[in-house]
């Protein structure tokens, strides 16, 4: 007990540091557990953070200044957000604009159909649920914005909703995100595993069809030496993030891209060009993977702890049902639209759906199920479009209903 009280001293900084590291360790242990090929992955970190917030947040706030705790958690999740979104933009950048140009009718349109369907389902749940919920209208709409981003496992959508509602309602966004996120992960993972079985697909034939339809144009690499600013590409990464934050803060008639959209847009541009003149602005692939995972981890910890403080208080089974509907219905609509309107092959279809649902865990599952990495090309084409669409969709719903 003396040790606990000692850690809580010094303005609580050591205790918060220990908490963040412990949540990460326990979260990854939980995420590693696999049942019949299904695992939570990084989502395990969010669940542990949510539980930590449910149990410890009030005691922590009473021992340490409440504003200090909230500000510290905001720093953790905002730093994580910047790292994650910027890394995603760089990773998708090299193929994004080419895919956008060549495959608009298939990949991009499908992403928009999925997100539009999700937005309409969410709007329907708000119209029906606002008459029966115990929450105030503002709390309920903020919670539904969180449910939308959780059902789509969209960290940028989550962060954009938190920014849009302001500090008064951002915890409600986190609560909604936490309620919907678990099924948002598991639902898409199960969908891409079960759908080939339902249609009794011949996977070897489907792999051939995918490889035929998704040939990448080989990008010729220049032989000239580019100037590396550092060994890992941290400088261009940081530069893109800074410019993205500035762009995201620009407002036009109360609308802005936010930090999320700004960092994503600028890093997509940096990733697309790769170099400006003789200066290389593309970070190493290993750097991007580490920053993406580290950023996601920090973001989920910061958001999970603060959201956990109100999770138990506001949880309701009907909110979980809303999340299930927002996860399942867009996938079903997207699947049939891709199959019968866009005439996509099964694996191309499912790869696009994982991108449209912004589900990285489902992509990993699909690669394993299909036996080919080629499904990632469809994911890469739809994923950035879906990320931006979720951000805009969240802001639009909040503008209409709050």
Measured between alpha carbons, how far is 278 from 198 in angstroms, rounded to an integer? 52
Measured between alpha carbons, how far is 244 from 258 in angstroms, rounded to an integer? 9
Q: Which residues pair with 39 in a beta bridge?
A: 34
Measured between alpha carbons, how far is 8 from 256 in angstroms, rounded to an integer? 39
Would you say 114 and 356 are in contact if contact means Cβ atoms under 8 Å apart?
yes
Measured between alpha carbons, how far is 230 from 60 in angstroms, rounded to an integer? 40
pLDDT at position 119, please? 95
pLDDT at position 39, please? 67
Residue 148 CB-density burial (10 A; 0-12 exposed, 13-18 middle, 19+ buried): buried
CB neighbour list of residue 242: distance below 8 Å, 6 or more residues apart:
none
Phi then psi for 34, rounded to 5 degrees? -120, 125
Phi then psi for 38, rounded to 5 degrees? -110, 130
pLDDT at position 8, please? 47
CB neighbour list of residue 315: distance below 8 Å, 6 or more residues apart:
175, 179
Would you say 167 and 28 are in contact if contact means Cβ atoms under 8 Å apart?
no
pLDDT at position 219, please? 45
Classify 233 in phi/psi space as left (phi over 0), alpha (psi -120 to 50) or beta. left
pLDDT at position 3, please? 47
pTM, to two decimals: 0.71
Measured between alpha carbons, how far is 181 from 227 in angstroms, rounded to an integer? 42
Measured between alpha carbons, how far is 271 from 258 in angstroms, rounded to an integer? 20
pLDDT at position 221, please? 45
Residues of the chain with pLDDT under 50: 1, 3-4, 6-11, 216-222
pLDDT at position 350, please? 93
Phi then psi for 275, rounded to 5 degrees? -150, 150
pLDDT at position 212, please? 63
Would you say 61 and 12 are in contact if contact means Cβ atoms under 8 Å apart?
no
Phi then psi for 65, rounded to 5 degrees? -55, 125
Measured between alpha carbons, how far is 234 from 287 in angstroms, rounded to an integer? 8
pLDDT at position 157, please? 82
């Amino acid at each position: 007990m003396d040790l606990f009280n000692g850690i809580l001293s010094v303005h609580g900084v050591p205790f918060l540091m220990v908490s963040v590291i412990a949540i990460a360790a326990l979260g990854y242990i939980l995420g590693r557990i696999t049942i019949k090929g299904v695992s939570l992955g990084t989502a395990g970190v969010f669940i542990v953070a949510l539980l930590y917030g449910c149990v410890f947040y009030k005691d922590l706030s009473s021992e340490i200044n409440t504003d200090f705790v909230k500000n510290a958690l905001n720093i953790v999740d905002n730093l994580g957000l910047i790292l994650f979104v910027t890394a995603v933009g760089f990773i998708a950048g090299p193929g994004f604009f080419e895919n956008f140009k060549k495959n608009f009718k298939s990949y991009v349109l499908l992403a928009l159909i999925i997100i539009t369907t999700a937005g309409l389902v969410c709007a329907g749940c708000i119209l029906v649920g606002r008459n029966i919920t115990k929450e105030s209208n503002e709390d309920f709409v903020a919670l539904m914005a969180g449910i939308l981003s959780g059902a789509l496992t969209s960290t940028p959508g989550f962060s954009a909703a938190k920014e849009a509602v302001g500090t008064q309602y951002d915890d409600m966004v986190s609560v909604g995100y936490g309620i919907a996120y678990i099924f948002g992960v598991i639902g898409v993972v199960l969908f891409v595993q079960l759908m080939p079985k339902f249609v009794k697909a011949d996977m070897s034939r489907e792999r051939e069809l995918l490889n035929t339809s998704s040939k990448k144009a080989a990008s010729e690499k220049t032989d000239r030496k580019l100037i590396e600013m550092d060994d890992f590409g941290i400088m261009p990464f940081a530069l893109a993030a800074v410019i993205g934050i500035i762009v995201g803060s620009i407002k036009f008639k109360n609308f802005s891209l936010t930090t999320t959209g700004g960092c994503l847009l600028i890093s997509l541009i940096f990733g697309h060009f790769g170099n400006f003149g003789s200066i290389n602005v593309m970070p190493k692939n290993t750097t991007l993977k580490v920053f993406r995972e580290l950023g996601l981890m920090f973001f989920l910890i910061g958001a999970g702890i603060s959201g956990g403080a109100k999770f138990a208080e506001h949880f309701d089974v009907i909110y979980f049902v809303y999340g299930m509907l927002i996860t399942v219905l867009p996938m079903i609509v997207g699947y049939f639209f891709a199959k019968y309107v866009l005439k996509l092959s099964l694996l191309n279809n499912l790869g696009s759906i994982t991108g449209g649902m912004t589900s990285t865990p489902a992509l990993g599952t699909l690669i394993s199920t299909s036996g080919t990495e080629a499904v990632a090309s469809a994911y890469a084409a739809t994923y950035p479009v879906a990320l931006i669409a979720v951000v805009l969709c969240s802001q639009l719903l909040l503008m209409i209903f709050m």
